[in-house]
Amino acid sequence: MNILDTRDLQTRLDELEALRDAVTEAWEELTAAVADESREHEREELSAAHDAAQDEFGEDEQTELAEIEEISTATSSFRDGEAMIPVEDFEEYAEQLAEDIGAIDRNASWPANHIDWTAAAKALSQDYTEVSYQGTDYYVRA
């Protein structure tokens, strides 16, 4: 299972926001230099700085930032850390959770081998919301 922790996404969110802010700051500085004829000598340098910042915060980074911002608003404990479980692995996660909390004994063949894990996972998913990140759908506790 490829479970993500929202604390890791918070770190990435901070990085992306810093990149976005660098692009904005570089653009504002370049715009001010263009408007001020006495700063003409700075324009080329400021333009290069803006282009470099723009290269680091391109379309992929902007999309990722929007995804993480959406996840952060959908998750009440985003900063504190919530598990993001891939939808395709949620049934396995439900089974593992049941074992971890002592709801079933994995060593006992009955009733563990007669549980409808699809239905159990569906019932568990009622406490979760579905989000998308980097092309994968996840369940995360809302």
pTM of the model: 0.82
pLDDT given at position 88:
97
CB atoms within 10 A of CB 6: 25
pLDDT per residue, tens digit, the chain (142 aa), is: 899 999 999 999 999 999 999 999 888 888 887 787 777 777 788 888 888 888 889 999 999 999 999 999 999 899 999 999 999 999 999 999 999 998 888 787 787 778 899 999 999 999 999 999 999 999 999 8
Which among 119, 128, 135, 123 is positioned nearest to 84, based on CA atoms?
A: 128
Query: How far, in Å, CA of 42 to CA of 63, rounded?
Result: 31
